[in-house]
Chain A
């Protein structure tokens, strides 16, 4: 009997097989094998991946509420990223400084044929002028779409012009859809510009003793707010979130934080690394999804700051949260224990949610990422061995210098070593694969064909994925919940979020319609009747 992996892959033609065999692994012997990741999608293979623009504008920049983000291009790109990713935000005031929220608005230069032929810079300038006169924002971001790069509009020159003209922050993001191999290229491009032009430009120092930024938290369904609430209760000040519910106003002060917490490693690790190099800010990989992982993450923060009072408050908060959710968690666990799940999400959730599923006794039989790199699977120790190719070389990687004015060392090497002994490893991510069960399938860039086949063979109780494949699973009789958008529910982060998640899963499994799929007349083996002449 072939392995599950082979049963699926053997159906490919030789060329596709040669490519895909690198991307699909079976976890064996507690080893982490090398996986193919962040390479080109095979044309025609029906990948779920998106583009560079989606990673830049859609993921990283989109949630920044007080920036008017003008998408320079034909109408579609801006339209599809309008309100479709539930990164919540609210206009607010902080230390007397306002941050408006433009998230209900969608801005586009709506390029027409003449703009493609004669160039769109003039229209872009005019669009900025109009945005200024209507909205008077403090920051404008310009995002390029495919044709802009091809016709050579210089959005960066326009951004410089706008800064001069209007004395605002204006930044160009050359995130044309064809760059790189997935959304990942767009994350990197956004990260680069944030460190170049925003981080470190503010002068509002935090007030509290313990200060952090939360990186790679996009406040889907209010997750970020849930985490902020927890940290606040512990007495920790969040200087800025990258970028859920956050603002240009806050991000520019983020260099004053003492520690960076990295939730989604893939989309924001460049900022974490560069802030470490430039400002000396350490980062720890956290996971606020799941009770166990939330507890561990909070304790790690306590250990980093090493303050007994803080550690005590953290323990109090953990105890309080566990007590207040205990009964519901126990009930949910009793109903969900023993179920199996497959996860296919973007760049981190497929890992994070395994922890939460484990809290309920649900095991993961397949997990994969849409746009991850090898380090997201195998851990950051493999970074030096990752081969660059033509596609990754095209994405700018910037080196930052130590900032003499703001560089600080919070912990010395010896303290870091002591921290490591307590299990808190700084500036490191272990990746998804290490924690997975023996025999589980790890699949990079899971495509439509593989989804259908793996679901058919593995028959998980639940498939967690996105909207494009949700109904494929549902039609085949498997509960599917979206982990990009939480099917319009949430928050799922934190202790309370775990309960909401568990209830949503149980609701999905228990909904009576599952039992009604087969019509009663289809359940009768064959038509009953009598043969003529026998009576």
Chain B
């Protein structure tokens, strides 16, 4: 397994090996699926759309519907305007969405299709909408694309108004439907009325009923996006995936925002709850406090198996930071933190966390790849890997247990239904982490040392 990965880390400037990121459009497609009765549309050659649908379907094990402008060589020379026009007509005729959310690809970006102009000239049926965002694949990552699509919805739909409602706008970060459900549970418990954009729960974790629904019950409602300008505040969860959209909403409609880390682990969730409490001006209900107490109880229970263990964490920047915060709370050492997504803020925030827990000799890197991570691990072995599917080769090669968290997980089931955020999510993380460490001990210790009670 990965036999040709060398121990010596040679600097690479051009060759990315085993990436820890993918391109913008897949993130845009995922975000668009979180709007009710929205059909994502990929403006480019059809392979992009096919790849992204394949990938989302493999992660969520649910249909990911999206259409494409199906560029040919001609469209690539003369522009994709007429393809988009044909596509728009066919989509509204056949698939009858309420809204089409277009994202670009490196193809349409490189030839310079002006989507603003194209959409302005488009014949859109009464009561239907069409929005777009630019997602050049050669900039940022899928996280950038996710954020750009959310901003696209706001740019097109949200109205500036003097009217204020008691609603709070929540940007959930690049998370699973299971996380979105957890947010909603907490928001309800805290008595906050809200709009969450996007909301893929009820779409990408839709139930089996025996009847296929192209547009399942979930997703943010278009009217709610239009009214986002009335929100008294917005909360951006995860600075990479959410903050840019909160900025856009502020700029366009004057809605102030708080930028918080993804509420993963104790303190980050505390911060989220405290922010909500400031808004609700009500006491934190017992059920939330109870969950928090359960989490701390569990953390104390499992500490013999977590304390001092070295972990390598990789994946999307907000998620890696969230997991790192929690493993630090567990007394673990986040030896390596790596994301493929570019952005110095990742390293900065990671170092802040490390300083807070007085951790030394840990490395955090943005724009890295899994080849590099593996080389680091070869030189300094860790006890646990936490990240996405593509780390399984490293886990196998180095015989390190792997706990799957983040996007994409294309080799396991059920993960997208369950949260990592909130106290409940941290309880789940605690179970997964302790379970992995203890299973490893059970399968690797001498037979005479196998314990019945642990």
Contacts and interface: CB of A to CB of B under 8 A. Distances in A.
Interface stretch (B91-99, B227-235, B269-277, B419-427): B91-99
B265 interface: no
Contacts of A45: 67, 70, 90, 94
Interface in A201-251: none
B239 interface: no
Contacts of A466: 54
A84 B209 CA distance: 29
Contacts of B110: 116, 146-147, 150-151
B448 to A, nearest CB: 36
A394 B74 CA distance: 10
A135 B94 CA distance: 50
A157 interface: no
A74 B138 contact: yes
B21 A13 contact: no
Contacts of A391: 72-73
A124 B14 CA distance: 7
Contacts, number: 257
Interface stretch (A285-293, A306-314, A467-475, A504-512): A467-475
A78 B73 CA distance: 21
B17 A471 contact: no
B54 A467 contact: yes
Contact of A75 (B1, B19, B64, B73): B19
Given A49-B50, A467-B58, A468-B57, A43 B393 contact: no
Contacts of B138: 74, 111-113, 115-116, 147
A84 to B, nearest CB: 7
Interface in B1-50: 1-4, 6, 10, 12-19, 21-23, 25-26, 41, 44-48, 50
A110 B19 contact: yes
A382 interface: no
Interface stretch (B79-87, B116-124, B244-252): B79-87
Interface in A1-52: 11-13, 16, 40-52
A475 B76 CA distance: 37
A75 B22 contact: yes
A449 B95 contact: yes
Interface in B129-160: 136-139, 141
Contact of B21 (A48, A51, A75, A109): A75
B53 interface: yes
A276 B209 CA distance: 54
Nearest to B85: A43
B392 to A, nearest CB: 9
A42 B137 contact: no
A40 B111 contact: no
Contacts of A80: 22, 51-52, 54-55
Nearest to B58: A467
A189 interface: no
A498 to B, nearest CB: 27
B412 to A, nearest CB: 12
Contact of B47 (A50, A116, A149, A477): A50
A320 interface: no
Contact of B1 (A84, A104, A150, A177): A104
A475 B15 contact: no
A436 interface: no
A70 B15 contact: yes
Nearest to B410: A84
Given A104-B2, A475-B63, A76 B51 contact: yes
Band of interface residues on B: 35 or more
B19 A130 contact: no
Contacts of A41: 46, 68, 70
A467 to B, nearest CB: 5
Contact of A44 (B41, B139, B211, B393): B41
B208 interface: yes
A411 interface: no
A51 B49 CA distance: 9
Interface in A446-499: 448-449, 452, 466-477
A51 B54 contact: no
A178 interface: yes
A44 B65 contact: no
Most buried by A among B2, B6, B53, B213: B53
Contacts of A181: 72
Contact of A127 (B15, B62, B139): B15
A178 B75 contact: yes
Contacts of B69: 43-44
Contacts of A448: 65, 95
B143 to A, nearest CB: 12
B210 A476 contact: yes
A52 B73 CA distance: 11
Given A47-B68, A146-B110, A394-B73, A79 B19 contact: yes
Interface in A44-80: 44-54, 70, 73-80
Nearest to B23: A76
A40 B19 contact: no
Interface in B193-226: 206, 208-214
A78 B19 contact: yes
B381 interface: no
A151 B50 CA distance: 24
A44 B51 contact: no
A146 B15 CA distance: 19
Contacts of B211: 475-477
A150 B15 contact: no
Nearest to A115: B138
Q: Which residue of B14, B21, B66, B72 has the most chain A CB atoms within 10 A of its CB atom?
A: B14
Given A44-B91, A45-B90, 5 more contacts: A45-B70, A75-B141, A105-B371, A468-B63, A475-B209
14 contacts: A44-B87, A49-B46, A84-B58, A109-B16, A115-B138, A116-B138, A127-B14, A146-B76, A146-B110, A150-B110, A390-B73, A467-B54, A473-B212, A476-B211
